[in-house]
Structure 1
Amino acid sequence: MSNTTIKSVSGRQLKNYTSLGQTIRNSLTMAYRGLLKIKRTPEQLFDVTFQPIIFTLMFTYIFGGAISGDVPSYLPVIIPGILVQTVITTSLVTGVQLREDMDKGVFDRFKSLPIARIAPLAGALLADTVRYTIATVLTFAMGYIMGYRPEGGLEYVALASVLVIFCSWSISWIFAFFGVIARSASSVQGISMLALFPLTFLSNAFVPVETMPKWLQWFVNVNPVSHLISAVRELTNYGTAGSDLVISLIGAAVIVAIFAPLTVKAYMRRT
């Protein structure tokens, strides 16, 4: 996809057409900028470094004995649940940081550069996949330290990791849309958490669905987060891929198909 920008040179209006190749290069450059921001302000990684460790320890030792009898038996249940919850929650940072950059006028300065207008947005979304990867690796590493041994093997663990990262990237388009249209970063975070809490906690992440009230079981069973968690459990614990994997991929594709155009349109209008 290419875009057209208007520039004034010596009083004349010239059209500058950005090719697809240049758009990709500009987006990668902006993604690198996002990584440099993380390098200079490493506290941005606190959520993806401490949260997987704290949540894994806390939920495992609180619920492990009550639900599965002991901690080792609970690890195959909780690790995929913590993984999905942590990485999806991390994706809301995309919208918050996007809103902060727009409020600071960073994107206004980007408009004066000879780059594709969509590059800052695309670069921010690409850079955040590094955050998802860090959270994924730390969650599995913490599980391994505690005794989790996925029977699916390393290749299925890697496949499950790619699935979670891809689904979280697709969900980040929703929060990016909020980041573009919202008035402040705090409102983006508030709206995002309000949407995420029911989806992540009212799921099959921590307890068996059959132990819940009947009316709640219906919501948990149709919850897309539950399907993603089930897909990760099947891949890591059994080395199999079933309908939950297909549902998760279709759901992620639908989110991108809906929110990517909406976000891009809103972003181009605002910038």
Structure 2
Amino acid sequence: MSVTAPPGPRTPLERLRWAAVDGWTITRRDLVHWTRQPGLIVVGLLFPVMMVLMFGYLFGGGMMVPGVPGAGGDGYREFLMPGMFAMTMLFGVETTMLAVTTDAARGVTDRFRSMPIAPSAVVVGRSVADMLNSALGLAVMLLCGLAVGWRAGGGVGPTLLAVGLLLLLRFALLWVGVWLGLVFQSTGAVTAVQILVWPLGFLSNAFVAPGTMPGWLGAIAEWNPLSATASATRELFQNPGWGGETWIAENALPMAVVWPLLIIAVFFPLSVRRYRRLGR
């Protein structure tokens, strides 16, 4: 007696539906892990809040930002919050990398690759789960900002656009985390990435104006993709900014779109290529 395997999807529409269903299955797996390990999620959500309290109140009174009226104190917190929103998106890199490396170390990734599922399902499911996590984290940060006196004065449209730019940055950095996780496949490498994330985040305009830095260092900070998103969201939220006169500072809004798209264009195909080559 012979058994004939059911034919796979043939048309583009069938393949798309197949990929979407399998991707959502992987996403649900990650959501179930959240419910079983809520402590990790809570710590991840509270860490940026602790950063806001530390910089906003512990250091904020002594922070003076050129062009920001009322800094430090309340004026600095108005300047700080958009930068912290962007920093929260950056912190997600290590979260994504840890999830990918953990699956690889436990053999979960190999089992997924041996199953009759869409080749893109694992990567798509991982990205959807991380974006849901990031949206939750951003919502918590927005509430935290309101609690410390931050306000979005640009209206509903600009506010939604600012939130969209922040999530676009997170989506771009997500692929950096996926690629790093697939390349190193070791939970120990996450520590090295965590160490590198901090200089990348601080070397921006998230906390201080690049104009207060030495010239060469300020130029690097201005061209940091994080700085473009932070400056663009300050503009959209109508929060005080440092008012740089360089080209990159004056074009922060378009660059907040260009930088993430460039990152996606580089790391998305690298991630897909690396996943397909696992085990070779």
TM range (shorter): 0.7 to 0.9
* Deviation at residue 137 of structure 1 after TM alignment: 1.1
2:266 is matched with 258
AA matched with 1:207: V
CA–CA separation in structure 2 for the residues paired with 1:89 and 1:267: 23
1:270 is matched with 278
CA–CA separation in structure 1 for the residues paired with 2:6 and 2:151: 61
AA matched with 2:26: M
Please give the residue correspondences for 1:131-146 in structure 2 after superposition, counting only pairs within 5 Å: 131-146=133-148
AA matched with 1:206: F
Change (3 A) 1:253 1:205: same
Change (3 A) 1:155 1:71: farther
2:52 is matched with 56
Match of 1:114 among 116, 126, 133: 116
Please give the residue correspondences for 1:1-271 in structure 2 after superposition, counting only pairs within 5 Å: 16-17=8-9, 19-68=15-64, 69-187=71-189, 189-237=190-238, 243-270=251-278
CA–CA separation in structure 1 for the residues paired with 2:239 and 2:154: 5
The 8 Å contact of residues 79 and 234 in structure 2, kept in 1 or not, is answered as yes
Change (3 A) 1:49 1:183: closer
* Deviation at residue 122 of structure 1 after TM alignment: 1.3
Change (3 A) 1:52 1:155: farther
* Deviation at residue 27 of structure 1 after TM alignment: 0.9
SS at match of 1:147: coil
The 8 Å contact of residues 225 and 260 in structure 2, kept in 1 or not, is answered as no
CA–CA separation in structure 1 for the residues paired with 2:272 and 2:151: 42
CA–CA separation in structure 2 for the residues paired with 1:167 and 1:263: 17
CA–CA separation in structure 2 for the residues paired with 1:178 and 1:77: 32
The 8 Å contact of residues 83 and 139 in structure 1, kept in 2 or not, is answered as yes
Cα deviation, 1:215-249, whole Å, max 9, x if unaligned, reads 2111111111111110111111269xx72121121
CA root-mean-square deviation: 2.4
The 8 Å contact of residues 228 and 255 in structure 2, kept in 1 or not, is answered as yes
Change (3 A) 1:141 1:67: same
AA matched with 1:31: T
How many residue pairs match? The answer is 260
CA–CA separation in structure 2 for the residues paired with 1:48 and 1:12: 48
* Deviation at residue 183 of structure 1 after TM alignment: 3.7
Deviates more, 1:38-47 or 1:63-72: 63-72
The 8 Å contact of residues 210 and 221 in structure 2, kept in 1 or not, is answered as yes
CA–CA separation in structure 2 for the residues paired with 1:190 and 1:206: 23
Higher strand share: 1
Structure 1 gaps, min length 5: 1-9
Change (3 A) 1:256 1:15: farther
CA–CA separation in structure 2 for the residues paired with 1:243 and 1:55: 28
Change (3 A) 1:39 1:155: farther
CA–CA separation in structure 1 for the residues paired with 2:34 and 2:168: 21
2:243 is matched with none
AA matched with 1:269: R
The 8 Å contact of residues 173 and 263 in structure 1, kept in 2 or not, is answered as yes
Deviates more, 1:46-55 or 1:35-44: 46-55
SS at match of 2:143: helix
The 8 Å contact of residues 83 and 135 in structure 1, kept in 2 or not, is answered as no
